[in-house]
Amino acid sequence: MINAPRGTNDIHPPDTSYWQYIENKAHSVFNRYNYKEIRTPVFEYTELFQRGIGEATDIVEKEMYTFEDKGGRSITLRPEGTASVVRSFLENKIYGQPQPTKYYYLGPMFRYERPQAGRYRQFHQIGIEALGSNDPFLDAEVIAAGMNYVQELGLNNLKVLLNSIGCRECRPGYVEELKKYAAENKEKFCSDCKNRLKTNPLRILDCKVEQCSEALKEAPLILEALCDECEEHFRQVKTNLNRLEISYDLDPYLVRGLDYYTNTAFEVKYTGLGAQDTIFGGGRYNGLTEEIGRQSVPAIGFALGVERLLLTLKEQEIELPVETGLDVFIITIGEKARSRGFTLNQELRRAGVKSDMDYLDNSVGSQMKMADRQNAKYSFIIGGNELQKGVVTFRDMKSGEEEEIDIHNIVNKVQTYI
């Protein structure tokens, strides 16, 4: 017996229907916002993530699935989507086309983490990236598209946390202030944060350890250190969210730890029934394209974890409207009827009817039970009698009513019923 690797999941029916539903919803909502799907490889050269995610991050420090291929190149299974999207945008010179470029993606991501509920080694993300514009209308659109997506899945108690982390002009000065503050209060921070002070000081702001949140209470705030341009951009983002009636809470501790992240940072949380689950999060990354290629292209996006979204939907007992039943189950008695049922099954399917039959040569009684178990709306019963008369007994599974219908008309007839 060989088991699946630790931290991976098989997704079985009926769960696959939920997956299809949320994937289909992503296609339909994001298409409505005029975002187009992009598909990039699930592996890339390791360097892309080292540069595109940054060395001083949990992902690059500890979580990457990296291996050497037969040609001796270092390859990494993608831990997130943005770096690949940006790589593709630059490599294919999409910036040469009219802008902005609005993409969405969905697919598996890989991180070597300690598996636990909601944390896997292969998991899935859905995200959007809008490249080629710094327009604060776009920041609001990206947040609105994400909100609309999860609202259409049935999540309604949502809270947007919003911050601006400035730009390369104003942030360095702020980071110096923060470092100074943290150095003066060093003993109050956790050991990870003491390290972060050297590698990625902004990251101490969103440390989840309680002593650090306490230690940060008196710390300088980035929102008070923004340059005029960043302040104006942020003001407009807020105005645009107001225009869309999307309410938000300012969270000055919400950061993205890396230099190429700029301006808007946000997180959307579900707050229903005692929950505080992050559903998606993202922000602007006006400096990232320069990190990966030569062009400077402003951009903004978010990513959403599908497994955690499903956990929240489940915990909140939000049912997704997925239809799994059959239209027709064909019940046959005897070898001849079975052969006729077999060809009728194909005719039904070609006519757009969802149908099935028994493949274990079961008794009529068990075939009836199967029709029930499969949630069939109707069953077609074909026995010697029906064959002789050229009819099918058409049974409404709910009411139990039966009528005989000409076998040549049955496909047309059932089409009008479904």
Distance of CA 284 to the CA centre of its chain: 19
Q: C-alpha angle with apex 50: 48 to 52, nearest 5 degrees? A: 60
Q: Is 105 in the site for ligand ATP (CB under 6 A)?
A: no
Q: Which is nearer to ligand ATP, 267 or 327 (CB)?
A: 267
Q: Which is nearer to ligand ATP, 127 or 166 (CB)?
A: 127
SS3 114: coil
Q: Which is nearer to ligand ATP, 265 or 348 (CB)?
A: 265
Total residues at interface with ligand ATP (CB under 6 A): 14
Closest approach, Cβ 203 to ligand ATP, in A, equals: 11
Residues 245-284 that bind ligand ATP (CB under 6 A): 278, 281
- Cα 113 from Cα 58, distance rounded (Å): 10
Q: Is 78 in the site for ligand ATP (CB under 6 A)?
A: no
Q: Is 81 in the site for ligand ATP (CB under 6 A)?
A: no
Residues 121-140 that bind ligand ATP (CB under 6 A): 123, 125
Q: Which is nearer to ligand ATP, 118 or 172 (CB)?
A: 118
The correct pick among 51, 102, 111, 377 for binding ligand ATP (CB under 6 A) is: 111
Closest approach, Cβ 398 to ligand ATP, in A, equals: 41
Shortest-Cβ-distance residue relative to ligand ATP: 305
Of 21-29, 64-72, 119-127, 283-291, the segment contacting ligand ATP by CB under 6 A is 119-127
SS3 151: helix
Of 9-17, 113-121, 196-204, 213-221, the segment contacting ligand ATP by CB under 6 A is 113-121
Residues 303-332 that bind ligand ATP (CB under 6 A): 303, 305, 307-308
Closest approach, Cβ 116 to ligand ATP, in A, equals: 9
121 and 113 Cβ atoms separated by less than 8 Å? yes
What are the percentages of helix, strand and coil residues in the chain, rounded to 5? 40, 20, 35
- Cα 370 from Cα 389, distance rounded (Å): 26
Residue 163 bridge partners (DSSP): 265
Residues 6+ apart with CB under 8 A from 41: 78, 84
Closest approach, Cβ 3 to ligand ATP, in A, equals: 19
Residues 6+ apart with CB under 8 A from 283: 165, 256, 261, 263, 264, 265, 266, 300, 301, 302
- Cα 42 from Cα 186, distance rounded (Å): 41
Binding region for ligand ATP (CB under 6 A): 80, 111, 113, 118-120, 123, 125, 278, 281, 303, 305, 307-308
